[in-house]
Chain A
C-alpha cells in the first residue's frame, strides 16, 4: 500500500471512529457453522437483525435463540448497548425441548 493510500485509509478510520453510529459488520453463526453476514448501525435494534436472519433461513424467529457473549439478546439490545465491535459474532441456538423420545 502506498503512503498516499495509507493516509487515506487512516483518515477513513478516523472518520469511522468519530461516527459512533457507523454501521458494523456482524456475523451470525448457526449451530451447524453456517454463517450469514449483516451490516447494521450501532443504534439499530438487533431484533431487526434477528427477524432478517429468521426470514433468510426460513424459520420462525420465535424458535431461534440469539446469543452474544454467552447471553441471550433481548428485544431492546443494540450493537451499541452490547458494546459490539466490527466483525463480531452472534451465535444461534435452536430451541431444544426435552423429555424422552425413545
Chain B
C-alpha cells in the first residue's frame, strides 16, 4: 500500500487526523529519538491514542526513501517501448507462503535496500497481510528492525522493503499491461486494413511517451499516470478515470466548436457521483454540493436544454450513457446492452428525478433506452460505446460498430497521448525519446519499414499535388485529426511518413475502406464525414480548422449528399508561415469529392 508520511493524533473528544508539514514531521521525529526507549520493546500497544511522534516514527520507518526509489524503480519517463523490455524482479508463484512473522527480524538490516529489485518478489498475498493497517507498526513497537524474504533469509532489508515490494508488484503488473498493448497494436498494424495507419500512429507513441508519467489533463488527478492509457489499447475493461479523460476531451471539443448544439452540455462522472450521493428527495431542497450549485447556475445562464453524461451500472459493472432533456422533462439512456434485455439502473433514474424535480420545475419521466448507440458484442467494450454514444449525440460522431472496435480504441489512445504530450513540458525539458537511444533503433526501423510499405502501396495508386496540404478524413473519431505536410515540430518524428497525411491524398476510387474484425475478417464500413478536420501546414504549424459537417452533428442523418459541399476556408490556401501557431475558422466553400456514390454505403472523403 502506498502510504505517504501521514499521521494523525487524537484531538480533544473528536477524532481528527493532524496532517503535518515536512518541518513539523522532522520535529516530531527528533522528539521520538529522545523518548525511543520508552516505547520500543516495552509492550506498548499501537493505537489511536499513541503520541503523534511515535506514529510518525512508525510511518516514516515504512516509507521508501527518495534516494532508494530512483535505484529500485524504473524512471517513470522511460519510453514504453524500452520499459517493456526492462528487467524486473520475478514474482514468486507459490500459493503457499510462510507465516508473515517469518518476514520479520529483530536484527539490523544487512542491506541498504538498493538491491531489493534484484531478488524474487514475495507473493502479493503475503505482502497484503504484512500491510494490514497497524500490524507492522505494532511489530516496530515490539522491536523488529528489518524485513527479509524467507526464501532468501541471508539478506535483511530495511522496514520499508514491504512497501517497495508492493510497488514493485504494481510495476511488474504495469509492464505486463504495456506488453499486452504492444502486442495488440503490433497485430493491428500487421493487417492491411484501414485501421493500419491508426495502429502505426499509436505505436509511434509507445516510443515517445513514458510508461508512467504523471497526467495533467482535465479529469486527471493525483496518482493518475500514462499507464492509465494502457487500458485503451487492449481488449480490457475501461476505468472511470479514462471515461472522464475522454469525456473532458469531448467537452473541450464541444466548447471550442461554435457550430454544434449550444443547448447541450457534457458532464463528467462528478455529476452522477453527486446525484447518487443523495439519500432522500429532501437532500435537494438546497443544492447538495458546490458542483451541483455551479451546474444549476450554468444551466440557467446558458439556457441549456440537454445534459449528456456517462452512468455506471454498479450491479453489472457496466457503462452506459444518459441524457436529461430539461425542456421535455425526460431522462433517457443509451445502453449498449439494451439488445440483451438489460435495463438502465433504476436507482440512477430515480435519483436523477429527485434532483430534477427538486431543483427544476415540473415532473420528469424516465424513458428507458432512446439514445442512438452501438451494441456491444463482448464483456469489455461498454465504456468505449458509452463515450461514443455521448460523442455521437453531442458532436455527431459516427456511431460505434463492432467492425471499428479496435480502431476506436487506437484513435482514443492516440488522442489522449497527444493531449498528454501537449500538456507536459516543452521539448527543452529533455523528454527521453526513441531517437536518444540506440537500443530502440531496431524497433524504429521496423515501424518505419511498415510505414514505408504502406506508403509505397498507396503512392502507387495516388500521387499528391506538390505543395498542397493533405486533408484526410477522420475515419470515425469525433476529435480533429491533425494532418501535417511536414512533421509536427512539437512531436519528435520517427519517420517522415508516419502520419495519416503522409499516406498521400486520397483520390477518387483509389482507396476502399476495409475494416477487419478480431478474427481478421474484413468488411466494408459505412462512414460519414468527421465533425472537424484540422490541417496543420508547414514546419511552423499554423492550423486551419474546417468544420466539415457544418455542425449540428446530431442531425447528421438528414445530410446524405448534401455533405458534398461543406464550408472550408480558401480550400488549399494556407496562411503564410508565422512563428506562432494560429487557428482559422474556415467558412468559404470547397467541394468534397465523394469517392463512390451513393453515400449510403460508401465512406466519404474530401480532397
Determine if B1 and A99 form an interchain contact, defined as CB atoms under 8 angstroms apart: no
Separation in Å of the A74 CB from the closest CB of chain B?
Answer: 5
- The interface size bin for chain B is 35 or more
Residue in contact with A99 in the complex, picked from B18, B276, B314, B382, CB distance below 8 Å: B382
Determine if B19 and A49 form an interchain contact, defined as CB atoms under 8 angstroms apart: yes
Point out the residues of chain B lying under 8 angstroms from A59, CB to CB: 1
Q: Which of A37-54 contact B (CB under 8 A)?
A: 37-41, 43-44, 46-54
**A96 with B380: in contact, given A38-B17, A38-B19 (CB under 8 Å)?**
no
Residue in contact with B238 in the complex, picked from A36, A50, A60, A98, CB distance below 8 Å: A98
Determine if A52 and B8 form an interchain contact, defined as CB atoms under 8 angstroms apart: yes
Per-residue contact bits, chain B 520-547, to A (CB 8 Å; 1 contact, 0 not): 0000000000000000000000000000
Separation in Å of the A93 CB from the closest CB of chain B?
Answer: 5
Rounded to whole angstroms, the CA-CA distance of A49 and B3 in the bound complex is 10
B274 is an interface residue with CB less than 8 A from chain A: yes
Interface contacts (Cβ under 8 Å), in number, total: 178
Of all chain B residues, the one with the shortest Cβ separation from A47 is B222
Per-residue contact bits, chain A 87-102, to B (CB 8 Å; 1 contact, 0 not): 0000101011111111
Per-residue contact bits, chain B 216-257, to A (CB 8 Å; 1 contact, 0 not): 100111111000000000001111110110000000000000
Determine if B222 and A74 form an interchain contact, defined as CB atoms under 8 angstroms apart: yes
B309 is an interface residue with CB less than 8 A from chain A: no
A2 is an interface residue with CB less than 8 A from chain B: no
B269 is an interface residue with CB less than 8 A from chain A: yes
Rounded to whole angstroms, the CA-CA distance of A80 and B232 in the bound complex is 35
Residue in contact with A56 in the complex, picked from B8, B271, B319, CB distance below 8 Å: B8
Determine if B16 and A93 form an interchain contact, defined as CB atoms under 8 angstroms apart: no
Determine if B133 and A58 form an interchain contact, defined as CB atoms under 8 angstroms apart: yes
Residue in contact with B270 in the complex, picked from A31, A40, A52, A70, CB distance below 8 Å: A70
Determine if A54 and B2 form an interchain contact, defined as CB atoms under 8 angstroms apart: yes
Residue in contact with B17 in the complex, picked from A52, A61, A102, CB distance below 8 Å: A52
User: Among the interface residues A38, A52, A72, which one has the most CB atoms of the partner chain B within 10 A?
Assistant: A72
Residue in contact with B317 in the complex, picked from A37, A51, A74, A99, CB distance below 8 Å: A99
- The interface size bin for chain A is 35 or more
Determine if A102 and B239 form an interchain contact, defined as CB atoms under 8 angstroms apart: no
B383 is an interface residue with CB less than 8 A from chain A: yes
Residue in contact with B376 in the complex, picked from A38, A96, A100, CB distance below 8 Å: A100
Of all chain B residues, the one with the shortest Cβ separation from A29 is B277
Rounded to whole angstroms, the CA-CA distance of A16 and B2 in the bound complex is 34
Determine if B379 and A71 form an interchain contact, defined as CB atoms under 8 angstroms apart: no
A7 is an interface residue with CB less than 8 A from chain B: no
B273 is an interface residue with CB less than 8 A from chain A: yes
**A70 with B223: in contact, given A49-B19, A61-B1, A99-B238 (CB under 8 Å)?**
no
Rounded to whole angstroms, the CA-CA distance of A71 and B376 in the bound complex is 30
Determine if B221 and A66 form an interchain contact, defined as CB atoms under 8 angstroms apart: yes
Determine if A93 and B273 form an interchain contact, defined as CB atoms under 8 angstroms apart: yes
Determine if A91 and B273 form an interchain contact, defined as CB atoms under 8 angstroms apart: yes
Determine if A48 and B5 form an interchain contact, defined as CB atoms under 8 angstroms apart: yes
Determine if B4 and A38 form an interchain contact, defined as CB atoms under 8 angstroms apart: no
Determine if B318 and A99 form an interchain contact, defined as CB atoms under 8 angstroms apart: yes
Determine if B376 and A55 form an interchain contact, defined as CB atoms under 8 angstroms apart: no
Rounded to whole angstroms, the CA-CA distance of A99 and B133 in the bound complex is 31
B430 is an interface residue with CB less than 8 A from chain A: no
Q: Which of B294-334 contact A (CB under 8 A)?
A: 294-295, 312-314, 316-319
Separation in Å of the B583 CB from the closest CB of chain A?
Answer: 27
Point out the residues of chain A lying under 8 angstroms from B580, CB to CB: none
Determine if A93 and B379 form an interchain contact, defined as CB atoms under 8 angstroms apart: no
Point out the residues of chain A lying under 8 angstroms from B277, CB to CB: 31, 33, 91
Separation in Å of the B469 CB from the closest CB of chain A?
Answer: 38
Of all chain A residues, the one with the shortest Cβ separation from B320 is A98
Point out the residues of chain A lying under 8 angstroms from B216, CB to CB: 74
B371 is an interface residue with CB less than 8 A from chain A: no
Determine if A70 and B289 form an interchain contact, defined as CB atoms under 8 angstroms apart: yes
Rounded to whole angstroms, the CA-CA distance of A43 and B300 in the bound complex is 35
Point out the residues of chain A lying under 8 angstroms from B95, CB to CB: none
Point out the residues of chain A lying under 8 angstroms from B268, CB to CB: 70
Given contacts A40-B18, A44-B19, 7 further A-B contacts (CB under 8 A): A50-B4, A52-B17, A61-B4, A67-B273, A74-B216, A97-B237, A99-B378
Q: What are 8 A-B pairs at a CB distance below 8 A?
A: A31-B273, A37-B16, A37-B17, A66-B222, A67-B270, A98-B386, A99-B237, A100-B316
Chain A residues close to B by CB (< 8 Å): 23, 25, 31, 33, 36-41, 43-44, 46-56, 58-62, 65-67, 69-75, 77, 91, 93, 95-102
